[in-house]
Amino acid sequence: MIYTRDPSLVLPLQIDLTEEEREKLFEVWTVYTDDLVHPGGEELVEIPTEEEQENEIPGCSCCAEGRICSREPDAEGRSCECIEDYGQFFIPPPPKSPTSSSSSSSRVLSLPHPPHLPLVECGPLCACASRPSSSSCQNRLTQPQPSSSIQPPPTLRLHSSSIASLGISTLVHLPKGSFVCTYDGELISTVEARRRWEKQEEGGGGGNYIFSMKTSNGRVNVDPRTIGGIGRFLNHSHSPNVFPLPVHRTPTHRTVPRIAFFALREVNAGEELVWDYGDGEEEEEEEGKATTRPKRVKCFCDAGEGICSGWMPFDESL
């Protein structure tokens, strides 16, 4: 969903910025969204094909049969078809400690997760889509809650950071494998990603936020710089505590995956959330390829000597 022209009004974040920092930020970042959008801001709507609609696939019928989309088999030994078909990636959360204020996620990702293997969630053609509450479906972890539900208190905090100008910290303890946020913004082609990147370099930098990930459907490039979600504040570190995964929000591999971040380890309240921008994406340079190798960018992460290479990773294939 695309919200307003003033992101500061709707952000699901605790914002701890000076007036100056705020102004600078919202000059560039003018629209907040929690989904992928076409360049310019139109919402990306993925319409099921006619065949899919006719056959009412892909989607599960758990809710139509009075069951819920559950990971655990019920008394009859049945769990959600979408989960059965695409993998049981989640484990029940550890018992809550009385001091833990962590609330939302009922499940956490089973780690280690195979790199780049997408998660597959229930979608618009599943019977659970028509249920008003999310309690009937345990397979929509990364999807925004229906807007009618009461907005929970923010669990993330935006502040100035020693790694880059701004960063995001968690206000609550995050169990390993828990969902953090998605990386939303304009979905652009690789050619456009390269064009924007070069343009930003020419203009003296000013922040390249383009996320580029190879998935089974090809490359997904997301630019949240002007129209985007809160993922844009996740800084790089050579010692990451969160990591990205592609997520299909309908039970097929054919749709454009969203990018979702999960806790790589237990993360304490107050820690800044950081991921490794390289994250196995770096490739050997193709022979003879005309390369516009960028100026290298210094890394200011706090991973420490021997772990931090001193330079930001760069995906040569972009």
Q: Which residues contact 289 (CB under 8 A, 6 or more apart)?
A: none
Work out the number of other CB atoms within 10 angstroms of the CB of residue 240: 22
Work out whether the CA dihedral 227, 312, 217, 55 comes out positive or negative.
negative
The alpha carbon of residue 112 and the mean position of all alpha carbons in its chain are separated, in whole angstroms, by: 17
Shortest Å distance, C-beta 52 to Zn ion: 13
* Contact in structure between 78 and 150 (CB atoms under 8 Å): no
Look at residues 93, 90, 111 and name the one whose alpha carbon lies nearest to residue 102. 93
Residues that bind Zn ion (CB under 5 A): 60, 62, 69, 80, 82, 122, 126, 128, 137, 139, 238, 299, 301, 303, 308
Shortest Å distance, C-beta 126 to Zn ion: 3
Shortest Å distance, C-beta 156 to Zn ion: 22
In the bound state with Zn ion, the residue whose beta carbon lies nearer, of 238 and 249, is 238
Q: Quickly tell me which residue has 């659970």 as its tokens.
A: 128
In the bound state with Zn ion, the residue whose beta carbon lies nearer, of 69 and 168, is 69
Shortest Å distance, C-beta 86 to Zn ion: 10
Q: Do β-strands 108-109 and 185-188 pair in parallel, antiparallel, or remain unpaired?
A: unpaired
In the bound state with Zn ion, the residue whose beta carbon lies nearer, of 60 and 222, is 60
Nearest 5°: the CA angle 200, 204, 207 is: 55
Token readout for 50 is 């006619």
Shortest Å distance, C-beta 134 to Zn ion: 9
CA dist., res. 63 & res. 69, Å (int): 7
Q: In what order do the strands lie in the sheet with 119-120?
A: 119-120, 242-248, 258-263, 179-182
In the bound state with Zn ion, the residue whose beta carbon lies nearer, of 2 and 303, is 303
Shortest Å distance, C-beta 108 to Zn ion: 18
Shortest Å distance, C-beta 110 to Zn ion: 19
In the bound state with Zn ion, the residue whose beta carbon lies nearer, of 142 and 221, is 142
Work out the number of other CB atoms within 10 angstroms of the CB of residue 133: 11
In the bound state with Zn ion, the residue whose beta carbon lies nearer, of 128 and 263, is 128
In the bound state with Zn ion, the residue whose beta carbon lies nearer, of 102 and 134, is 134
